[in-house]
Structure 1
Amino acid sequence: MTFPATFENDVEVGETIPPMTAHAVSVSLPTWRANVGYEEGEEWVISKMKTGYPRFFIHKAIERLANAIVEKYGHDGERAMLFPSHSIAQRCLDYFNTQAPPEDRQQARILDLVPSAAKERSEELEIISPRISAFIFPAVSFKIAKAFWQHSGDGISSRRAEHCHGLFEKGALVDASTIDGMRRLCKGPRRYQRQTSIDLDTPIDVRNDGNDTQDPNDFVEQRFGRNLDLSLTTNAKLAVRRRIAGSLTADVELPEALALSKDEENTRQVAGFSEDDVYLYPCGMSSIFNAHRNLMATKGPLQSIVFGFPYIDTLKIVQKFGPGSHFYGFGSSEELDDLEKRLEGGERFLALFTEFPSNPLLRSPDIERIRDLADKYDFYVVIDETIGNFMNVNVLPYADIVVSSLTKVFSGDSNVMGGSLVLNPRAKSYKQLKQTWNSDYVDNHWAEDSIFLERNSRDFVSRIERINANAEAICDVLRAHPRVKQTNYPKYSPTRQYYDKCRTVRGGYGGLLSATFYSKEEAITFFDNLDTVKGPSLGTNFTLSSPYVILAHYGELDWCASWGVEADLVRFSVGLEDTNKLVDTFRRALEAIERLA
């Protein structure tokens, strides 16, 4: 069906979402046909793509820097993947060497690019970290290198690429091996600077007269180009970590936020928990990848369990970067019964990874029973709270580790990536895991990204309440229509009892829901007539719709169906629009189905 030109949210295929946003994390795929065309690699879609979801689509700023590095340091027929540190590039090389043919492995190598002036290697420079490690390899093996880049989430951000490209063109970012007597740059601060090391009275807010739309090019030109103020960067990271810890819920400017005394009771409700147990990562998948990596380093390379139908890369990580996994795709009580029998029979596992609730079926696992099994049979529990978010659900008491994508509703503005990982200080595993993270963790969240993330997340609490209410209203509209076969939402899920057990006092049921229809034609008609922005990602401040299974699992639709996930499912991430307007929008799309008859 043709996309009507009269739609208020008509965004051209391939345009960034939000439009004309240089570092947008979504892209417009406004019709069902456009989504299929993207997956099929059709030229009319691919040629128009200004961006894409950052772990699946290499941002053009990153591609430009990678091409410039290969042009200067590489050879014909080579490409480069860019990472923020040598150790991450080495992991990519190690993975590449397990997958690529011998002749390609022989050519693969790492190039470290660092600031040229040795005198500038200061604490400030270490925190801002304007350096790049390029993994250079034969282009014919691009898919292998890209698989690591996508699954790990540890590639550089587009803002880091822009900044470092400017340094590279000026000759201020050079091959580390060419600097005489240069010490190997340390990995960066082992831990975040404490609040007392920063002058909190400095006027360091980045907003201009209350206007949230700041041009990143406004940063002052300093000795390394568009540099960033150390106190601004460090304080922004601290404020973000306090928000994730639940000890900062006020919507205030940055200096005032850090001067506030901590809330007497944080939303996590775990004794002894604070921002010192919160770790920032470049994106949510990076936090999952590094959780799995560090758990294996702590306990050994055992198989893991993935419980419930997960976001695609979570399963790929445990399958590809260790001894494998056991997959329970329904996340049911019967599957927990099976797991318990396996454990009673002597099988042992590293960890159980699960989402609360799951994406896209919005089912909630029985994490209380999972916690009991983990304590009895000694495996870790890693819970992804991205969909529920900690304002709605409190899952930390049942987890050893909680991970989340800050790219989503925590940010809301769809213009910055981020991830978090928190350790439960009351878990039996805490001491061991804390030691592992203290020795291994490096903060690779790019400074400018942290500044945007802090600014975006200030009104996180109030946005959640509005989004919850809007999502419930949309859910009611879908559930009432006879041509909607099934609406998936935690409030009406057969697993609601498990969700409610973790729901906070003021918590709702989140902003994500999905629906299926009685025919593919109905699903396509509904989607093409739905006047919302359409593209990948979720948690945006505006409603964002997607034929999620087509977009995320196009090459494995039969596999999805075997786990009860239909190919024609449509997913909705509900935003902050006027509730009545949203309801009318969905009703009009449903009326288009009625006209099919």
Structure 2
Amino acid sequence: MSVEIQTPFGTALPPAPRHAITVHAPAWKTMIRFKDRDPELFKEFKSMYPRFVLHKDVNEVSKFQARVHGADARLLTQDGQLTQRIITFANLDAEGQGCYIFPSIQAAADCVEFATSPARKEGTISRDKISVRIFMTHVPLHTVVFPVELTATVHGFWLNAGTGISSRLAEDSVEHADSLRELQPDEQLTTPTDSEAHSVIKERIAGLLNRAGTDSTRTVKVAPGDVYFFTTGMSAIYWVHRYLLKKYNSPSVLFGFSFHSTIHVLEDYGPGVEFFGLADESDLAKLEKHLSSQREQGKRVQAIWAEFPSNPLLNVPDLHRLRQLADEHDALLIIDETIGSFANIDVLSVADIIVTSLTKSFSGYADLMAGSAVLSPLSAHYSELKTLFESEHHNDFYVRDAEQLVHNSQDYLARSAILNNNAASIVSFLQSKALDPSSSVAQIFYPTTNPTHKNYTPFLRQPTPDFPSPGYGCLFSVEFNDMPSTIAFYDNLHIHKGPHLGAHLSLGLGYTLGIYGNELDWAGKFNLRPTQVRISVGLEDTQELLGVFKRAVKAADLEWKELRN
């Protein structure tokens, strides 16, 4: 592994395929610009996570629609927002209109509902100013058209719900552009069905969930039909939440800190969410009190959501206690096991629904977006949930993305073993530095170093010949004693820098500063601090990767020593 990263600033991780979902943005000063949502910074990015900034192929299909309708395509940015390259219908119905494209009428209609809600306040779009129009190429393109000055409102839905079209669907639509036409009101759309690739992945995921479980006597198995696909990991969370609202229309609970979009989805739709961000014993007591209070008022909580472990501090909630509380108060328990991952953990015995961002380590090569929700056949709610999902679910997961996921995930277990080993090795080194009072390293956040480790081990899968060492995944965070040491570490850590986890190459990110830099007091209540760096290890050689981290810590320690002297 080279000491210096050769990837140009603002481009994707090598080999940087057309549908890459990453960006390399080195240097701590870049994180400061990211925190400030510097428009010029996002203009420099040639690649980026597609929920944050629209992929170039998504832009291109919108550009083509504008051209077909005789419009002048314009390049637009929104100050104060994640800058986005949005080619719009500049003159589809009237001057100054924009469009976002979705794979289904359900997603487009929900976008309109979001944008017209009074909760958007000054960003609310009037019902007569937003519409859905359906255009056909080889597939229908459900296009939400709106006043371009309110693009930030619609982008908020795209960002958090994650329900937009994929870059592969957009690429293929441009290739079929000669057939583009607007659907007439009396034309009927066919319901998408599973392709062979969809079936292969369902069988693969079901097999992974059934293998090497914590209970060797278990006879009830996950069936491929219990696996449901979504366009992104966030859309899995979004649609599951929406399905449950249709049946129960009750508040939710988010137990433990989570990926930043999850809380927005639970807040923006439905009657609300109660957030217990520390997920410790005190929060368990508060949760029990909250559930009892709801029951006394004749109300119920429809679902308790929890990450296992959490992002970015890898805390592990007490799932047995959560299951007990869920049973006592007739709530569902939904577990996002993206970080722990299918290979390592078995939560079927406690979860009603398991949601996963397949974008991460399951895919593993940072070139597609996907998500899944799996119904646990062990759940007491299985039958009612099965009926609900069969009624509500619509397959928006594009066939070419499914085909790529079949290819990527075929070495999932082998990659997971490397990710586990690399993370464990780096964590062991950093933990030794954290115990050294002369070092700048203050603390390591990983399931094995956190006090909540005891909550993880009961769910570790059994060792097998094909996967002898189930572990703790690729993600950890490291905290330093002060900001100068943090910056020295970050700027001397010669791995790729940017959002994402579970990729083939290691990624570092000043997560707290970049995501919560403008609300640090709030984030600090949950132990998130700007002196923390989140790391997702990749598939590099372990010893070479250790060398990279040792050099970075040495630079941080020198900075720390100089400041103390």
Note whether the superposition's TM-score is higher than 0.5. yes
Q: Which moved more, 1:238-247 or 1:406-415?
A: 238-247
The CA deviation at 1:266 is 6.8
Match of 1:296 among 237, 245, 248: 245
Say whether 1:112 aligns with 2:134. Answer: yes
Q: Deviation string for 1:365-417 (max 9, x for gaps)?
A: 00111111111110111100000002111112111110000110001110011
The separation in 2 between residues aligned to 1:517 and 1:504, in whole angstroms, is 33
1:538 equivalent in structure 2 = 501
What displacement does 1:94 show? Answer: 1.1
- Aligned mates of 1:20, 1:372 — CA distance in 2: 46
Deviation at 1:529, TM superposition (A): 0.4
Query: In 1, distance between residues paired with 2:525 and 2:208?
Result: 42
**Does 2:211 correspond to 1:272?**
no
| Structure 1 residues 17-73: Cα deviation after superposition (integer angstroms, max 9, x where no partner) | 235422111101111111222332435522221121111111121122223334523
Q: 2:107 — aligned with what?
A: 88
Cα displacement string for residues 312-370 of structure 1 (whole angstroms, at most 9, x for unaligned residues): 01111111111111000001121111221233344421111110000011011001111
User: Displacement, 1:188?
Assistant: 2.2
| One-letter amino acid of the counterpart of residue 285, structure 2 | D
On the 8 A contact 1:10/1:531 being kept in 2, the answer is no
For 1:429-440, list aligned pairs within 5 A.
Answer: 429-440=381-392
Say whether the 8 Å CA contact 2:35–2:516 is kept in structure 1.
no
| Kept after mapping to 2: 8 A contact 1:270/1:396 | no
Across the two proteins, how many residue pairs are aligned to each other?
516
Q: Who is 1:239 aligned against?
A: 200
Which position in structure 1 is the counterpart of 2:182? 175
- Contact 2:214 2:458 (C-alpha < 8 Å) held by counterparts: no
* Counterpart position of 1:484: 441
Deviation digits for residues 66-93 of structure 1 (CA, Å, limit 9, x no counterpart): 2333452343211111100122101111
Mapping of residues 178-197 of structure 1, within 5 Å: 183-189=187-193, 192=194
Residue pair 2:318, 2:455 contacting (<8 A) in 1 also: yes
Rounded Cα–Cα distance in structure 2 between residues aligned with 1:240 and 1:528: 39
Q: Tell me the residue number matched to 2:457.
A: 500
Structure 1, unaligned runs of 5 or more? 1-5, 116-128, 193-233, 249-262
Give the match for residue 287 of structure 2: 339
- The alignment's C-alpha RMSD in Å is 1.9
Name which of structure 1's ranges 98-107 and 446-455 shifts more when overlaid on structure 2.
Answer: 98-107
Out of 4, 9, 21, the position equivalent to 1:8 is: 4
- 1:121-149 Cα deviation digits (max 9, x unpaired): xxxxxxxx722100000011111111111
Q: What is the match of residue 253 of structure 2?
A: 305
Alpha-carbon separation, structure 2, partners of 1:511 and 1:114: 41
Aligned to 1:125: none
TM-score (norm 2): 0.88
Question: Residue 288 of structure 1: CA displacement?
Answer: 0.4
Amino acid at match of 2:476: L
Determine whether 1:590 maps to 2:553: yes
Q: Is the 8 A contact 1:70 1:136 kept in 2?
A: no
1:372 corresponds to which of 304, 324, 329: 324
Indicate how the Cα distance of structure 1 residues 275 and 343 shifts in structure 2: closer, same or farther if over 3 A, else same: same
Aligned to 1:139: 148
Q: List runs of 5+ in structure 2 lacking aligned partners.
A: 70-91, 434-438, 464-469
Residue 527 of structure 1, aligned match among 490, 503, 522: 490
Matched residue, 1:27: 23
2:456 match: secondary structure: helix
SS in 2 for 1:26: coil
Deviation at 1:488, TM superposition (A): 0.3
**Matches of 2:281 and 2:166 in 1, distance apart?**
40
1:462-490 Cα shifts (integer Å, max 9, x gaps): 11111111111100111112211010010
1:493 is displaced (CA, Å) by 1.1
Inter-partner Cα distance in structure 2 for 1:63 and 1:13:
21
User: Equivalences for 1:312-461 in 2 at 5 Å?
Assistant: 312-347=260-295, 348-461=300-413
> 2:80 maps to what in 1?
none
Is the CA contact 1:131–1:164 (under 8 Å) kept in the aligned structure 2? no
CA distance, structure 2, for counterparts of residue 86 and residue 305 of structure 1: 29
Tell me how far 1:590 sits from its aligned partner.
0.8
- Residue deviations 1:267-295, cap 9 Å, x none? 89671321110011111101000111111
Deviation at residue 173 of structure 1 after TM alignment: 2.3
* Distance in 2 separating the partners of 1:333 and 1:378: 21
- Measure the CA separation in 1 of the matches of 2:125 and 2:497: 43
Q: 2:411 aligns to what SS in structure 1?
A: helix
C-alpha distance in 2, partners of 1:432/1:412? 33
C-alpha change, 1:66 and 1:271, in structure 2 (3 Å) is same
Is 1:357–1:490's contact at 8 Å kept on the other side of the alignment? Answer: yes
- Does the 8 Å CA contact 2:233/2:358 hold for their aligned counterparts? yes
Q: State whether structure 2 residue 533 is matched by structure 1 residue 570.
A: yes
Amino acid at match of 2:202: R
Contact 1:10 / 1:30 at 8 angstroms: preserved in 2?
Answer: no
Secondary structure of the residue aligned to 1:327 is strand
Q: Structure 1 residues 346 and 35 mapped into 2: Cα distance closer, same or farther (>3 Å)?
A: closer
Number of the residue aligned with 2:79: none
Partners of 1:458 and 1:326 lie apart in 2 by 39
Contact 1:515 1:571 in 2 (8 A): yes
Return the alpha-carbon distance in structure 1 between the equivalents of residues 160 and 214 of structure 2.
Answer: 31
Q: In structure 2, what is the Cα distance between the partners aligned to 1:7 and 1:163?
A: 39
In structure 2, how many angstroms separate the alpha carbons of the residues matched to 1:155 and 1:340?
37
1:163 aligned residue: 172
Letter in 1 for 2:458: K
Q: What's the CA shift for 1:304?
A: 0.5
Query: Could you say if the C-alpha distance between residues 265 and 175 of structure 1 is closer, same or farther in structure 2, counting changes exceeding 3 Å?
Result: same
Structure 1 Cα separation of the partners of residues 311 and 342 of structure 2: 16
Matched residue of 1:495: which SS?
helix
Instruction: Letter of the 1:175 partner, please give it.
Output: E
Distance in 2, Cα, partners of 1:102 & 1:529: 45
Which of 283, 307, 313 is the matching residue for 2:232?
283
8 Å Cα contact 2:441/2:481 also seen in 1: yes
Distance in structure 1 (CA, Å) of the matches to 2:348 and 2:124 = 45
Give deviations 1:226-254, integer Å, cap 9, x for gaps: xxxxxxxx222122112211259xxxxxx
Q: CA contact under 8 A between 1:560 and 1:567: conserved in structure 2?
A: no
For residues 279 and 374 of structure 1, the distance between their equivalents in structure 2, rounded to whole angstroms, comes to 23
Letter in 2 for 1:406: L
Q: Is the 8 A contact 1:246 1:266 kept in 2?
A: no
Distance, in Å, in 2 between the alignment partners of 1:493 and 1:446 is: 39
